[in-house]
Amino acid sequence: MFRFDRITFDPNIMGGRACIRGMRITVALILNLVANGMTTEEIIRAYPYLEPEDVQQVLCYAMEKMQ
């Protein structure tokens, strides 16, 4: 099992939905951006406080949830 140290859950942030490092950026948002064709580089340009590892971990998290 993969350890998701960049995916956080806090009932006070975005209603407890899966977020990236306690920020108000949800896993669902990043997945939506990827699904609509944005590259990691484009996502980082749009959200400069994110890191490539954040996007990678979102994809791994989604993959594990699908199994």
pLDDT tens per residue, range 17-55: 999 999 999 999 999 999 999 999 999 999 999 999 999
Domain ranges of the chain: 7-66
Instruction: Kindly report the pTM of this predicted structure.
Output: 0.91
Secondary structure of residue 43 in the 3-state scheme:
helix
For residue range 6-15, list pLDDT tens digits in order.
999 999 999 9
User: Terminal CA-to-CA distance of the chain, rounded, Å?
Assistant: 11
> Distance between CA atoms of 46 and 66, rounded to whole angstroms?
27
| pLDDT at site 1 | 53
Fold for 7-66, please state it.
Answer: Arc Repressor Mutant, subunit A (1.10.10)
pLDDT above 90 (res 3):
no
Separation of alpha carbons 67 and 49, rounded Å = 30
What is the pLDDT at residue 67? 83
